[in-house]
Amino acid sequence: MRLPRRRRGAAPPSAVDPVPARDRFGLTDLLGEATADIGARPGRLVTTVVGTVLGVAALIATIGFAQTAAAQIARQFDAAAATALVVTPATASTGGGETVATGTLPWDAVDRLERLAGVDSAALLAELSLPEATVTAVAVNDPSQAPVAPPALYAASAGLLDTVGGHLATGRFFDSGHDARGDRVVVLGSRAAERLGVDRVDSQPSVFVDGIAYAVLGIVDATDVRAELLDAVVLPTGTARADFGLRAPGDLQAHIAVGAGPQLAEQAPLALAPDAPETVEVNAPSARSQLGRAVQADVNGVFVILSVVVLLAGGVGIANVTMLSVVERIGEIGLRRAVGATRRQIAGQFMAESVVIGLLGGLIGAAVGVLAVVGISVARGWSPVVDPWTALGGTLLGAVLGLAAGGLPARRAARVEPVEALRGGT
């Protein structure tokens, strides 16, 4: 048996000269040593990381729920949705699976509804179902032209423009006089106007519905609600009754004050059909007061504080277990020092172990937090919203916690004198 020999021709390394950087105790060695023992005692690992996992998970879940709730509130409670109320005739399913209206809205529904407090404006609206009708901008029927679907035809009362928050690109909207007289006038949605080739009204253009000329009064290019009107030709209800035999309004659109929804949901059926309020349905926005939002913010604040407390407890847990580890492994520290580890390398190893444990806790915690947000959101029918940076931040927070928690134990490990340490075992 021979002692392992130095390579032929290689000079023996000087005792104190620096070694090449690639062969020094580097980051890979540090991480290798720091992670080698981490899984050796699974029970202790779980105990060590559980605080960090809970803290990061609670924090991520709190932030995630806040983001999800904010998105949910924004979705349910944006300005347009909060002020739009729609009344429709109640419907019932027939035995054949069809849905039929069980009542009708009265023609004076606008007047009835506008008497109620909280209603800013209202308008009747009905889609005219005329499958065979042609809608063109010229009177000539060109058989060689490819058939195209005509724009939708709507009948509306005069207050529609204000009620849907519409904006006129040009011209004007018809008024109650047109409505009452049944004048043959229309207002075009901007996309319908484009399809019909109408882009100005000062030349008094007409569109032809089933060959009947209707003077175009204006073009609407934007609405807050009922965006389908931009694809439609809208004529007064009086005209629709006279020319197309419209028998009843389709629905009643109203613009209401913020927060008036629940109250109007109760009052509107009685105002519109006092003898049979169940024959109308009201689709009103739910109320959500500023107070509710403030409470939501307070609840989030409480959860964030709780999460931070749990996180700090997690950090103390890591510090305690790492300190215990230093005491238990005092012989190993002595051995490492004896075989050439510097104080800095010993401190680095314990610091790295703590950071790795913190990172692991942060990673698991972030995953648990995101899963909690997704799981509960799905169960409640919400769209989960978690900023990816939040999850990443939670993971890094675990590492930072480990770094902070490892400081004291690492300092203590570095101070271990090898002579004393070697008197114990490894």
Q: Which amino acid is at 258?
A: V
Cα separations (Å) of 137 from 197, 237, 324?
7, 21, 87
Rule CB under 8 A: say whether 31 interacts with other proteins: no
| Residue 342 lies near other proteins (rule: CB under 8 A) | yes
Question: Per CB under 8 A, does 35 bind other proteins?
Answer: no
Nearer to other proteins, 24 or 247 (CB): 24
Among 11, 16, 140, 149, binds other proteins (CB under 8 A): 16
Rounded distance between C-alpha atoms, residue 351 and residue 366, angstroms: 22
Is residue 24 at the binding interface for other proteins, with CB under 8 A as the rule?
yes
377 CB burial (10 A radius; 0-12, 13-18, 19+): buried
Q: Which residues on neighbouring strands pair with residue 153, listed in sequence order?
A: 128, 233
Contact flag: residue 45 with other proteins (CB under 8 A):
no
Q: How far is the CB of 398 from other proteins (least distance, A)?
A: 24
> Which positions ≥6 away from 149 have C-beta within 8 Å?
none
- Residue 333 found at the interface with other proteins (CB under 8 A): no
Among 37, 199, 228, 266, binds other proteins (CB under 8 A): 37
CB atoms within 10 A of CB 260: 22
Among residue numbers 344 through 373, which ones bind other proteins (CB under 8 A)?
344-345
Q: Which of 76, 134, 283, 426 binds other proteins (CB under 8 A)?
A: 426
**DSSP notation for 26-51:** -HHHHHHHHHHTTTT-HHHHHHHHHH
For residue 358, the minimal CB distance to other proteins (Å) is 21
- For other proteins, the binding residues in 285-314 under the rule CB under 8 A are none
Residue 419 CB neighbour total at 10 angstroms: 10
Among 195, 226, 337, 412, binds other proteins (CB under 8 A): 337
Category of 271 on φ-ψ map: left (φ > 0), alpha (ψ -120 to 50) or beta: alpha
Pick the closer one to other proteins by CB: 5 or 8: 5
Binding mask 198-237 for other proteins (x = CB under 8 A): ----------------------------------------
Tell me the pairing of strands 135-136 and 119-128.
unpaired
By beta-carbon proximity to other proteins, the closer residue of 97 and 340 is 340
Residues in region 145-204 near other proteins by CB under 8 A: none
Span near other proteins by CB under 8 A; candidates 233-241, 259-267, 327-335, 394-402: 327-335
d(CA 88, CA 348): 72
Out of 183, 251, 332, 353, point to the residue binding other proteins (CB under 8 A): 332
Using an 8 Å Cβ cutoff, are 154 and 163 in contact? no
Tell the smallest beta-carbon distance from residue 416 to other proteins (Å).
Answer: 12
The one-letter amino acid at 414: A
**Site membership for other proteins, residue 422 (CB under 8 A):** yes
CA distance 204 to 135: 17
**Judged by CB under 8 A, does residue 88 bind other proteins?**
no
The stretch among 117-125, 194-202, 297-305, 417-425 that binds other proteins (CB under 8 A) is: 417-425
Q: Is 23 in the site for other proteins (CB under 8 A)?
A: yes
Burial environment of residue 231 by CB neighbours within 10 A (0 to 12, 13 to 18, 19 or more): middle
DSSP state of 4: P
Length of the chain: 426
CB 52 to other proteins: min, Å: 23
Interacting residues with other proteins (CB under 8 A)? 1-6, 13, 15-16, 19-20, 22-25, 29, 33, 36-37, 40-41, 331-332, 334-345, 418-419, 422, 425-426
